[in-house]
Chain A
């Protein structure tokens, strides 16, 4: 295995016009401190503040904050390979799936590939048009399918309030947290997680701790869990944790854990301590609840 840290991959799904590009523009301009690589379908739709653009080179935009934005071409998976081979390797890869794509088919690559980490599937749901799209005889099944695989659902165009019937329909399809994009002060914590890029190995400071709307929780210890016990513990995590990641010691070597919404991904790793960070919305969870739950790990 490569000595480089794994490249986390987050996939943004959602139909045409749902607001995926707006979300990416937002992400790229936020002060998240990470060097993100964003791959999009339609380069022309990306509309970054000109002041942020350092260099435009063919189909790659380099930003002053160290992020890059590029097109993926006709072979998405080989483009993933290019991102992995890029030096320095980006801190996080974000892919905009095409409007009709099943984002899980892309995100699954992060679970399969030893050099990648699962960063989850965020599906942008068009608050105005989704119910109509979901009932469309031609594309309805694919629209509902996107919601079914989401780890987090981000609703756009709500006009300030999530329509209850929309929330009910989405909840019937998905266990993923449902967030109104208008309510989110920052999108990076939801899309990337709350840590600085070297968070797992090093510091535990990050965006989550910096913004009052989010709760960040970090833990370092020496607890050792067998894989089944870890899986059971994670399965019993409190609702309201959107993301959790870290290294957990186990009798057969350390495990790297990525939890996004309802999805749990575990891979072998190297670490000399157990270090975990989690993030949720302050309105839904507090640090004490997370700490109390994790205390079961030592029990």
Chain B
């Protein structure tokens, strides 16, 4: 007979309506055997009591429904961003709020590196700095002997020092779109878009294709998750190679690997039938902690890059409408084939026109090939309003809203991208829930840091970086937000019968917290400490 362990905690928030609160949870064979008081499992035989969590609060392990395993390897680079950030090993990287601090911190970091190694940084975003734009003269102050390259957080821009410019032969005679020049006619170090960045990335070994699914980074990603209390996490635009799949399968199966990983295949650059066939083929490799079989569509761009496809009245600065990454005709073809072949889709749609077109495509596909329970998910879905949410509800389509944008880019959205009214209703959790849409909320890590409690806080408080409350009518309650980061997100991954709440029969996946998120001022929800996780009964404490 397998051992029964009964954990006691200060409080257990179950997300199960039958027993919302408890003090004890019994675990057997990685699953929840009973929930309640100290005697909850006595009818099952002899138990062992364990008071590891006596001072902690347990919640269902958090589910991050939209992030990327790149969050693991990005920390090979030095962090140069504006906000404080904690790396997978718990080291705090202070936010750099002016160029002088950027230079000083990166100089200090470079001094710890071997001389021949390039300094590569991530997370820098010029949108947050009021000062002069970052250029090669700044980076030359960090080092004028080793290559220095700052990859901006959008991924579409970088800034390099003079060493790098010489390495790729960019000079005053270079006439390449994206190689930006200063007043003196020479390149100023800023490189825009991949074509101009590619020669640098090639020479500095910045090839990300297979990195995420290497053993080292699969582990690194797990550390990021544990720190955030996450026990189920997606890799939401994965390129799955045979070798990567074998590694994922092997590493995640290790008994102490603490996260259930849900990679979704990038539905691009192949015929829909081939993509569906690959989804089915990889699905056969799923196990308890690896769930394959869904795909990810990439329909439009980003709102802050003015490349999202938006409906009237368009962008507030009069910018032209954004770009399709997949033409509507192909979105329709993909939806039809995936629906027919029973492959669940996650569709990146930032702008409301992209959400609209994708709903049309799903509706057309559903008419031809009915599939109750398809649970396709519109990801980001930032500009959906009441009308689109009600349509999603009718069609059984879920949404996973990028509510972290309210804090990080809310001020910019109101002032520069879509204007006050639509910024106030964007990532509209209240409207989604009121319309009856199955809803999750997410970080898109590493775009914003993984941290479901922070994400929940954005949905509850809707505070921007400047401190204003953007769209107070769209705020949701703490209970609703906690549901969105557990059961809500699990539903979008079709794992809600298995994880997302603490109830008998489900997997023993818990977030271990230092405070009760329901008993504090909601303004401080993001500050609730995460102490670790339990995954299938396996305890990982920080």
Contacts and interface: CB of A to CB of B under 8 A. Distances in A.
The answer to whether A binds B is: yes
Q: Which 10 A-B pairs have the closest CB atoms?
A: A108-B195, A109-B195, A100-B327, A77-B198, A112-B176, A113-B199, A114-B169, A81-B202, A74-B239, A111-B176
Given A73-B239, A77-B201, A114-B199, A99 B327 contact: yes
A41 B320 CA distance: 27
A138 interface: yes
B268 A74 contact: yes
A75 interface: yes
A43 B239 CA distance: 16
Nearest to B265: A74
A104 B177 contact: yes
Interface of A: 1, 15-16, 41-45, 71-78, 80-81, 84, 98-100, 102, 104-109, 111-114, 138-139, 141-142, 227, 265-268
Contacts of A73: 209, 239, 269
Given A44-B271, A71-B270, A99 B169 contact: no
Contacts of A266: 173, 175
Interface residues of B, number: 42
Contacts of A141: 320-321
A265 B237 CA distance: 36
Contacts, number: 113
Nearest to B193: A105
Contacts of A43: 270, 274
A197 B376 CA distance: 50
A15 B328 CA distance: 12
17 contacts: A42-B269, A44-B274, A77-B201, A78-B201, A78-B209, A100-B323, A100-B325, A100-B330, A105-B194, A112-B174, A113-B202, A138-B328, A139-B324, A139-B328, A142-B323, A142-B324, A266-B175
Contacts of A102: 323
A45 B271 contact: yes
B269 A41 contact: yes
Nearest to A58: B242
Contacts of A112: 168, 170, 174, 176, 178-179, 195-196, 198-199
A268 B324 CA distance: 37
Contacts of B195: 77, 105-109, 111-112
Contacts of A100: 323-327, 330
B293 to A, nearest CB: 18
Task: Please indicate which of the listed interface residues B179, B198, B239, B326 has the most CB atoms of chain A within 10 Å of its own CB.
Answer: B198
Contacts of A76: 194
B274 A16 contact: no
B198 A109 contact: yes
Contacts of A114: 168-169, 199
Contacts of B434: none
A30 B243 CA distance: 37
Nearest to A81: B202
B184 interface: no
Interface in B223-239: 237, 239
A41 B270 contact: yes
B328 A74 contact: no
Interface string B320-344: 1101111111100000000000000
